[in-house]
Amino acid sequence: MRLVERVGYENAGTIEFLLDSDKRFYFMEMNTRIQVEHPVTELVMGLDLVKMQIRIAAGEELQVPNGLRPRGHAIECRVNAEDPVSFRPSPGRLTTFHPPGGPGVRVDTHAYEHYFIPPYYDSMIAKLIVHDCDREAAIARMSRALEFFVIEGIQTSIPLHRRILEHPDFRAGRLSTRFMERFLAEASAPSRDKP
């Protein structure tokens, strides 16, 4: 808060930090816009950040409820039009597009059945966000939501997300900036069970 007050910033923004193993925070950057991960904050805090930013831009004073506290746990998966192993883009027509739904499941997307994914832009076609009472429940809810998310006609990152959610380090919260590096190395290593 002191950082944004010091520079006189008046709008929505995202301040990013890294946390080390000794629970010390290190400032990374501030983005003066709504981030793609904003639904996680919205679900955990019960706020509509986009509406708040529009109101601030219209000259209204920021209204934040008293006693605001995080509740539960949220996870976001970016569903990309790409090969889940090589990460090559996978443009093409969506022959089937059936997003999941239900309590605690949110899908932000522009896609629909028969939509053509062009090869020229960002490969993200949907954000799948879930919210539940704690991390374990949110992982279970995300696993189910990914299982019921049906996209045909192109390759997507859904199988990759499902494998990440099953990884014991992810489930235990043993994460770092090197998690994906280790995860991909394990995935490409020959299995000892193979003849």
d(CA 159, CA 133): 25
Range list of H helices, the chain: 2-7, 38-45, 49-57, 135-148, 158-166, 168-172, 179-188
d(CA 166, CA 56): 41
Contact 156, 87 (CB under 8 A): no
Residue 33 bears catalytic tag: yes
Catalytic-role residue among 24, 33, 144, 171: 33
Name 116's Cβ contacts closer than 8 Å, sequence gap at least 6: 91, 92, 93, 94
Both structure tokens of 181: 């590096």
Active site residues: 33
